[in-house]
Amino acid sequence: MPFARRQVVQRRLTVLLLWLLAVVLVEVALPASNLAPGTATAVADSGAAYDRSLTVGDCALLGRAYDSSLGCARNACLTD
């Protein structure tokens, strides 16, 4: 039976190492925006989200602020 016990231990170690490898790969893959900041979605310092699909005119009709590099603000309204 010592041979069977060795196989069980070896199988458990293999599963543990595969699980550990999967966790490390997921942790490396998740902060991709930190590794490639140019590919991340831009968000302003104020926390307002922007919509690039709206034009300047649409943004003005909605009464929202427009930034040429970010687009139309979803939360920030124009001040008078």
Residue predicted with more confidence, 13 or 55: 13
Query: Can you list the positions of beta strands (E) in the chain?
Result: 50-51, 64-67, 71-77
Q: Is the pLDDT of residue 4 over 80?
A: no
Radius of gyration of the chain (CA): 25
Q: What is the mean pLDDT of residues 8-17?
A: 93
pLDDT in tens, 46-67: 545 888 888 888 888 888 888 8
